[in-house]
Structure 1
C-alpha cells in the first residue's frame, strides 16, 4: 500500500463546541470525498471508501438533509468527541426537540431521508 495509490482520509470531529474540526487527506481521497459530496447533493446520499493512515479501510457516508427536514437534523446527537462522564450519555445535547427519545445517532438520517 502506498500513499499515492490509496485514498487516505482522516475526519476529526470537534472536541467540544467552538473547537475546530479537520478533514485531512491526500489528493486521491479529497477528490473521492468531493465526488461523494457532489453525488449526495443530487441523490441525497452517497458513500466513499477510504483508509486511515494505519491502513484500515472504512466508508464515509455523506447525507444531504433538506431544508424542510431541519427538525430531523436537530434531533441527532452532537458530533463532539468530549465525553461527559464514563460514557457519552448525551448530557450535552443542546438542540431542543419535541421527540423525547432524541438525540439520535446520525444513521437515523439514512432511514428517514429516503
Structure 2
C-alpha cells in the first residue's frame, strides 16, 4: 500500500490548513517529525490520490535561524492577479532578495 498524503496550505491568514493521509502516510510523517526534531530535517516520499509521487521535507527551525525563517515566503495559496505577488509577505527584511523559498532552510540547498 502507498503512503497517500495531501497537505493543504491555508488560502490566506486565519484560514485552516489540513494534513490528510492514510495510516501508512501519517506514520511516516510522524517518523519524519521525530527525525527532524533530532537531526533538523527529514525527507520522505508520498503519493497523492492521482497516483503522482512527490518528495516532502520536514524542517526544524532553530532559534538562530529565525531571521531566515521570517524571510521565507508565506504559505498562503491565494493568488492576486495573474501571479502570486506575495501580498501577505509581511516580514520584509531590507537588503535581502526575499521572499525566499523554504528550500533555503535545507542543509543541502541544491534541491529544488
TM-score (ref. length: structure 1) = 0.89
Q: Does 1:87 align with 2:83?
A: yes
Deviates more, 1:8-17 or 1:82-91: 82-91
- Which whole-Å CA distance do the structure 2 matches of 1:96 and 1:112 have between them? 24
- Which whole-Å CA distance do the structure 1 matches of 2:68 and 2:96 have between them? 13
1:27 — aligned with what? Answer: 23
Moved over 3 A (4+): none
TM-score (ref. length: structure 2) = 0.90
Structure 2 unaligned blocks of 5 or more:
none
Deviates more, 1:77-86 or 1:89-98: 89-98
After TM superposition, list the pairs within 5 Å mapping 1:17-96 onto structure 2.
17-96=13-92
SS at match of 2:102: coil
Q: Alpha-carbon deviations, 1:40-94, whole Å to 9, x = none?
A: 1111111111100111111111111101211010000000000121001223211
- Which whole-Å CA distance do the structure 1 matches of 2:104 and 2:92 have between them? 17
Q: How many residues align?
A: 109
